[in-house]
Structure 1
Amino acid sequence: MDVVQCKMARAALEWEPADLAEASGLETRAIARFEDGGAVLPGHLRAMRAALETAGIAFLGDDGVRLSGAAQCRHIAVQQAL
């Protein structure tokens, strides 16, 4: 998961950084540091990704993310998130 995918996933879920922090068990500043391009521990990155996947995000390689589920199935392209 890269920074753009993280932001796209949060947007798809309509989550603020604090929501991802709560779901991943991390502090909000760890989420902000990652999204600002800073270094994060590998375990923190795994926790963020796992929280997003648990919430229904599917990562599509380097192309984007998809919100899974029958009611809301959409693809968010990288270009749309920039």
Structure 2
Amino acid sequence: MMQIEKYEPEFPPVEFFITRFFVDNKCLFEQETKVSLPTLIKGDVIDIFDVSYFIEKRQFGFNEAAFFTIYYMKQL
């Protein structure tokens, strides 16, 4: 007979996702969503408020309730 054990996660599930866009050390835009936004990669270009930005790098982090994606950008 197969025995099945109940899995108890070590951490609670993520409740929301935060995406932050930085130009130098200035947070240009922050978006909170219930689902993750499409992932941008280094070298991508994105338009925010009718201005084009180049993605220089990205970082990830999380805490008890949220997952963070942080993009560092340069204005074109």
TM-score by length of 2: 0.29
Structure of larger gyration radius: 2
TM-score by length of 1: 0.28
Tell me which protein shows more helix as a share of its residues: 1
Tell me which protein shows more strand as a share of its residues: 2
